[in-house]
Structure 1
Amino acid sequence: MPTSAQKLSGVVPPFVTPLTPEYDVDTASLARLVEHQLTGGVRGVFVLGTSGEGTFLTDEQRQTVLETVVSEVAGQVPVLAGAIDTSTARAGAHISAALKAGVDAIVATAPFYAATHPAEIERHFTRLASVAEDTPIYAYDIPSRIGGTKLPSAVMIELGRQGILAGVKDSSGQDTSLRKLVLDRTDAGLDGFAIMTGSELTVDCALDFGVDGVVPGLGNVDPAGYVRIFDAVAAGDRELARREQDRLFRLFEIVEVADRSRMGASSAALGAFKVALFLLGVIACPLTAYPSIPLDDAEISRIGGLLERAGLR
């Protein structure tokens, strides 16, 4: 497990994966996204997660993302890579590929499609740790995407105690269970075990009750805003933290712009993030991975208006 000096903290956005009109990885746009994030003051980057559409990409595309980001970041901040798949063997293969590219840490869900028992989740992460060797692994708690499986706090804490997990990215949306995890960590004396929230909307509150940082999809668009929240909470300026959180709460309304009667929630949310980055000149094309449906011109215009309201244009 990382020492306390190495513990993950701060703002670590989960990168989108820019695509060309032909659905190839747009490496030039990806390089600009890295620059956008580093300029915003992030303390790490996370590729090939939910926002990165990692499960939609081919192995070759995944490797392109990994190699491009590791090269562009050039050691300035840690690079975390998703190892998200239906089985331990498949996730392990993703870990091997990520290590080959030179990433600094792995983020892995429990297996999905087949239902899993807590004992099987523990076996899964233990095997992945043996594949990763000395590279830290963070558990990714996102029940909505893995068949409703919630990672039990007791299992996470025990795996942290054994040095198998370096921490948890909690995207469960369940603030009570997140707070319990923070308390359980304290009771276990696991000071080096990082707890990160995946929520865009309650970052100020979560930081206040003890999480170490945030992995916000909206951070693709406005990383500096989330950095201001983190810095304000660290400085004890709760009023500033709340103002920034309120502004970003309103900016998050971009995910509600797309017509849900013609596309799914993922297309609407990831499409909104990509459209915003397109309008800001960070990426060249706002397409999401096939078969996701792109936003239309009217929806793109509305997102432009929300960016202006948030002071980003």
Structure 2
Amino acid sequence: MEKKYHGVIPPIITPIDEKENVDEDGFRRLIDYCIEGGLHGIFVAGTNGETMALTQAERNRAIRIALDQVKGRVPVIAGVMDTSTRRVVENIKQLEAMGGACAAVTPIFYDRHTSQDETIRHFEKILRETNVDLIIYNIPPFTGVKLTVPTVLSIAKLDQRVKGYKDSSGAYADFMQVVSVYRDTPFSVMQGVTGMALSSILMGSDGFVPALAPCFPGMFTSAYEAARSKDMDLTWKYNEIIRESSKILGMSRNATAAAKYAISLRGFTDKRVIWPQDVIEKEDETKIGNKVKEIDERYAQLKREG
């Protein structure tokens, strides 16, 4: 069963100009590069897109540009994460006004967390007051709470508009429990930890959300197809390349700066990150440039070998 939300869906960066406004031209060209490279969707205004660092107006502008440029070619998932249910509902209503069809929703953050039930209530109210598809987004490092398997299953049962689950917790056993429940249903289960991505696909998950997919769209889509086809030897080879590519994110003090620089080498966007994050150093640029070239060469060689 091919589900609505599946495959390689990048948490796309938000290119910015010198005033920290969205670089519309660069963003549009990057989106086209991703789609033409075979990626299966776009996740805009996520963590990698610096969504909470953008002003609300620029966050909405990034989402609007993505929806307009994609033009229905692939699904667009928009991050609406925020610090209260009311704020998230307002974000989704703005998304609806733009014509958006799917929102990624995390637990609230910054406030104290007292129970798993609060997140179930969070989704219940969102579902009552909005009309888009929802993706449950579990990302404990940024929300301060890890969703349990029973909580995910409870939210998924609330309404058929809850279409999927993206797990960036790194709890592989928990993730596989969710996969086992939804393998033969329309509900999508997507791995958010790139190092676990291909093994997750082999075991039945529906997709993954790698930060560097906009830099290497062909490589990541080929890796996904290898795993989906259960070609163990080829999947192993792609896993080695993906593991090597992930080193890019650790080549700067700031993983976002590293990702933005690597993607900027494709010629569409600038390397800028939003103040006051650490910027990338010159020596890091050299290392990342060399690693990007290495990954390109290894992917080309693997394609030649068939």
State the TM-score, normalized to the length of structure 1: 0.90
- Of 246, 263, 272, the residue aligned with 2:258 is 272
Specify the alignment match of 1:154 in structure 2: 150
CA distance in 2, matches of 1:116, 1:16: 32
* % identical aligned pairs: 28
Specify the alignment match of 2:303 in structure 1: none
Report the secondary structure of 1:120's partner residue: helix
Specify the alignment match of 2:60 in structure 1: 63
After superposition, residues 271-310 of structure 1 pair within 5 angstroms as: 271-283=257-269, 285-310=270-295
| C-alpha RMSD of matched pairs (Å) | 1.7
CA distance in 1, matches of 2:103, 2:28: 21
CA distance in 2, matches of 1:116, 1:193: 28
**1:33-90 Cα shifts (integer Å, max 9, x gaps):** 1011101111110001100111111111012111111111011011110011111011
Gaps of 5+ in 2: 301-306
Specify the alignment match of 1:247 in structure 2: 241
Distance 1:303 1:5, change over 3 A: closer
CA distance in 1, matches of 2:195, 2:103: 25
Report the secondary structure of 2:162's partner residue: coil
CA distance in 2, matches of 1:208, 1:191: 17
Specify the alignment match of 2:101 in structure 1: 104
Q: Are 1:192 and 2:186 counterparts?
A: yes
What letter corresponds to residue 259 of structure 2 in structure 1?
Answer: F
After superposition, residues 49-198 of structure 1 pair within 5 angstroms as: 49-114=46-111, 115-133=113-131, 135-147=132-144, 149-163=145-159, 165-185=162-182, 191-198=185-192
CA distance in 2, matches of 1:309, 1:42: 21
CA distance in 1, matches of 2:182, 2:3: 17
CA distance in 1, matches of 2:20, 2:238: 35
CA distance in 2, matches of 1:295, 1:162: 44
Gaps of 5+ in 1: 261-267
Report the secondary structure of 1:50's partner residue: coil
CA distance in 1, matches of 2:117, 2:173: 23
Whether contact under 8 Å (2:191, 2:197) holds in the other structure is: yes
Report the secondary structure of 1:80's partner residue: strand
Shift of 1:5: 5.9
Whether contact under 8 Å (1:200, 1:218) holds in the other structure is: no
State the TM-score, normalized to the length of structure 2: 0.92
Whether contact under 8 Å (1:157, 1:185) holds in the other structure is: no
Whether contact under 8 Å (1:228, 1:241) holds in the other structure is: no
**1:242-267 Cα shifts (integer Å, max 9, x gaps):** 21121121111111212x4xxxxxxx
Shift of 1:282: 2.3
Shift of 1:125: 0.7
Q: Are 1:11 and 2:15 counterparts?
A: no
Report the secondary structure of 2:47's partner residue: coil
Distance 1:302 1:251, change over 3 A: same
Distance 1:299 1:13, change over 3 A: same
Whether contact under 8 Å (2:192, 2:209) holds in the other structure is: yes
Distance 1:304 1:5, change over 3 A: closer
Report the secondary structure of 2:52's partner residue: helix
What letter corresponds to residue 278 of structure 2 in structure 1?
Answer: I
CA distance in 1, matches of 2:2, 2:246: 32
**1:112-168 Cα shifts (integer Å, max 9, x gaps):** 1221411111110111122332x2101110001111x11121122122223252111
Report the secondary structure of 1:98's partner residue: helix
Q: Are 1:211 and 2:205 counterparts?
A: yes
Specify the alignment match of 1:264 in structure 2: none
